[in-house]
Chain A
Amino acid sequence: MSVPMSSNGLEAVYLANRDKLVRFLAARGAGDAAEDLVNDLWLKISTSSSSGPIANPLSYLFRAADTLMIDRYRAKRQGEKREQDWYELRGSGEASSEPVGERVIGAQQEVAKVAAVLARLGARREAIFRRARIDGVSQRQIAAELGVSLSTVEADLRIATRALIELKDELQ
């Protein structure tokens, strides 16, 4: 399925679809910076020393663009969080041992709640979630592995994801 791809081949795909990538990045939140970002992105991809087969070059480029935006979002959020932590630390005066103990109990409660949600979802949905999200296996392959239809995998994945996300609201 995957075809060995020379860097020239990838470059041809990049050049032919550059406008689409810019449009995607702009819509993805980069706005006016999309032009610059797509150049940076291509520079990183084209100078990356490792090479290997790329199954779908266009999807590979979009995926890289999407990941770039995910990283930017994360960096921004972590910066905000650091700032907030810093203010909290300053506000409380000192880091007492009590919050640490509370955190330990909090973590135990979280584990128990996750376990409860997984138990409620059942073995198949848990297995599908793990295969898809943790092992990164495609839904099509999971369907084949479990001998169920693709739409079953899609539905199970949606239900499991939703339940685990709602758990977060409950924890806070």
Chain B
Amino acid sequence: MTGRQVDEQALEWAIRAADPLFDDWDGLTGWLEADPGNHDRYDDALAAMAEARDRVAAMPVQTAPVAANDERPVRHGFWRWGGSATAAMLVAVVGVSVWSERSQPYAVETAPGEQRTVQLADGSEVVLAGGSRVTLDRADARVASVERGEMLFRVRHDAAHPFRVTAGDTQMVDLGTVFDVTRDPGRVRIAVAEGAVMVAPDGAKLRLDPGQAVVASGGELRRQSATDVGGWREGRLTFDNAPLSDVARDLTRELGRTVRADPALADRPFSGTIDIRSLRNDPARLGRLLGVSVRIDGEAWVLGDDR
């Protein structure tokens, strides 16, 4: 962002201090005091590290030494830079950061092609599509952080304690609701089936009613219409003028098999509904549906030009 090189010593301190057991704060103070430029170098290193973290978090887990679909405790503590820290929100962010040290976050994850329903203590539920991951909090059933993939929230409304969902830099609160959140690298989409959702409650305050959706990308919000919200739970994927690259990404999530679009076709729009079950082992059928050829490349299906 700044174009500045990340300083080696600063990065060393940043990595050490990020460890939850780090306690050499005197040492860090001493290093910071040694040069008036060190605190800028340290901030740059922390920011670069957070960006690296976000980049990896957006990638599917390839190695999976810890099994997917496994509820394991995670501690984010202070090291999550979630939320949109507008100046107006600064106080709230500090409050949340302090509080989250005492929260009990845990993650729920699905493998591609799998679905999973999580019941929350307040009676709400989250249905995860394949290849998705959400962070929840045992200490507070009214918060969720969408780490990647797609999920449907069926929220029990409580006006006094709105349900807050974070997906990257995008925040939303329910206004009595069934809604779907998709997070892919650089893009968050929110679609409402029932009730209403307020997106960016601390900023744009954009209200979504049933049948409405919004895409947050590159710092801007764009409205869309939403059809068949959560249809993926019944094996249906509905697209309205979606680029083939998006279709391929959603298919990857639901089929549990890599589907990718040839770069030449990535932007070609597709409208229609795909029944996942009917084409699980039938690439030719998918090809006819999308009007493309499907080439088999190892485990992956590649969408290419018809001719």
Q: A interface vs B, CB < 8 Å?
A: 20, 23-24, 27-29, 41, 44-45, 48, 50-52, 54, 56, 58-60, 62-64, 66-75, 77-79, 81-82, 85, 95, 100-101, 103-105, 107-108, 110-111, 114-115, 118, 123, 126-127, 129-140, 146, 157-158, 161-162, 164-165, 167-168, 172
- Chain B residue numbers with a CB within 8 Å of A103 are 186, 217-218
Min distance, Cβ B258 to any Cβ of chain A, angstroms: 11
Asked whether B87 is an interface residue with its Cβ less than 8 Å from the other chain, the reply is: yes
Instruction: State A143–B185 Cα separation when bound (angstroms).
Output: 30
Min distance, Cβ A156 to any Cβ of chain B, angstroms: 11
Instruction: State A85–B49 Cα separation when bound (angstroms).
Output: 23
- Chain B residue numbers with a CB within 8 Å of A158 are 11-12, 15
The number of residues on chain B lying at the interface, defined by a beta carbon within 8 Å of a beta carbon of chain A, is: 79
**Contact A64:B78 (CB < 8 A) given known A104-B245, A107-B185:** yes
- A157 and B22 form a contact (CB under 8 A): no
Asked whether B143 is an interface residue with its Cβ less than 8 Å from the other chain, the reply is: no
- A71 and B94 form a contact (CB under 8 A): yes
- Chain B residue numbers with a CB within 8 Å of A85 are 219
Q: B interface vs A, CB < 8 Å?
A: 1, 3, 6, 11-12, 15, 17-23, 25-26, 28-29, 32-33, 38-40, 42-43, 46-49, 51-53, 55-59, 61-63, 65-66, 72, 74-79, 81, 84-87, 90-91, 93-95, 97-99, 101-103, 107, 139, 184-187, 217-220, 243, 245, 263, 266-267
Instruction: State A112–B297 Cα separation when bound (angstroms).
Output: 17
- B43 and A29 form a contact (CB under 8 A): yes
Q: A134-B53, A134-B57 are in contact. List 18 more A-B contacts (CB 8 A).
A: A27-B32, A27-B38, A29-B43, A56-B23, A64-B101, A73-B46, A78-B85, A107-B184, A110-B186, A118-B62, A130-B61, A133-B56, A133-B79, A136-B79, A139-B19, A157-B15, A165-B52, A168-B55
- B74 and A107 form a contact (CB under 8 A): no
- A132 and B59 form a contact (CB under 8 A): no
- Chain B residue numbers with a CB within 8 Å of A59 are 22-23, 25
**Contact A71:B93 (CB < 8 A) given known A20-B29, A64-B78, A162-B11:** yes
